[in-house]
Amino acid sequence: MSLSDIHLAVALLLLSTMSIGLIRVAIGPTPSDRLMAAQLLGTSGIGLLLVLITVIRVPALIDVALVFSLLAAVAIVAFTRRRVEEDT
Partner 1 sequence: MTPLSWLAIACILAGVFFFIAGTVGLMRLPDRLSRLHALTKADNVGLGLLVLGLLLEGPGLLNGIKLVLIWLFVLAASATGAHLIAKRALRGDGEDDR
Among 8, 56, 57, 65, binds partner 1 (CB under 8 A): 65
Q: How many CB atoms lie within 10 A of CB 23?
A: 9
Q: Which of residues 12-31 bind partner 1 (CB under 8 A)?
A: 13-14, 17, 20-21, 23-24, 30-31
Sign of CA dihedral 65, 68, 70, 72: negative
Whole-angstrom distance, CA of residue 29 vs CA of residue 46? 26
Q: How many CB atoms lie within 10 A of CB 48?
A: 19
60 counts as binding partner 1 under rule CB under 8 A = no
Binding site for partner 1 (CB under 8 A): 3, 6-7, 10, 13-14, 17, 20-21, 23-24, 30-33, 35-37, 39-40, 43-44, 46-47, 50-51, 54, 59, 62-63, 65-66, 69-70, 72-73, 76-77, 80, 82-84, 87
